[in-house]
């Protein structure tokens, strides 16, 4: 595993098992607080590859986006910049 100076990124490898499963390295699980039972979202396309995201982070982002859309539609200015 390689870790950048700011300790917010990890780079490591994972081998795909016979059943198509991968193990997320411990350092990465710890860094992103990934626990057994957590839901992960897999985004992929042939050109760019694969991205794995925690579902709760996507939910937070979606809530923020919907809140901003609602504020915009109701004429409220976004004062959080």
pLDDT tens digit string along 61-81? 889 899 999 888 888 765 555
Strands (DSSP E) contained in 1-81 are 2-3, 10-11, 40-45, 49-54
- pTM of the predicted structure, to 2 decimals: 0.62
Whole-number Å distance between alpha carbons of 8 and 28 = 10
Q: Could you say which residues of the chain have pLDDT below 50?
A: 1-3
What are the start and end residues of each CATH 2.10.260 domain in the chain?
1-38
Whole-number Å distance between alpha carbons of 56 and 41 = 9
Whole-number Å distance between alpha carbons of 29 and 45 = 24
CATH 1.10.3470 corresponds to the domain 1-38: no
Q: Find tokens 């991968």 and name the residue.
A: 22
CB neighbours of 54 closer than 8 A, spacing ≥ 6?
Answer: 32, 34, 38, 39, 40, 41
């Amino acid at each position: 595993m390689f870790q950048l100076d700011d300790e917010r990124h990890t780079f490591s490898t994972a081998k795909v098992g016979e059943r198509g499963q991968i193990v997320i390295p411990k350092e990465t699980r710890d860094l992103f607080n990934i626990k057994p039972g957590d839901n992960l979202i897999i985004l992929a396309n042939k050109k760019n590859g694969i991205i794995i995201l925690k579902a709760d982070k996507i939910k937070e982002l979606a809530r923020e986006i919907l809140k901003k859309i609602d504020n915009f539609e109701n004429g409220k200015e976004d004062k959080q910049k």
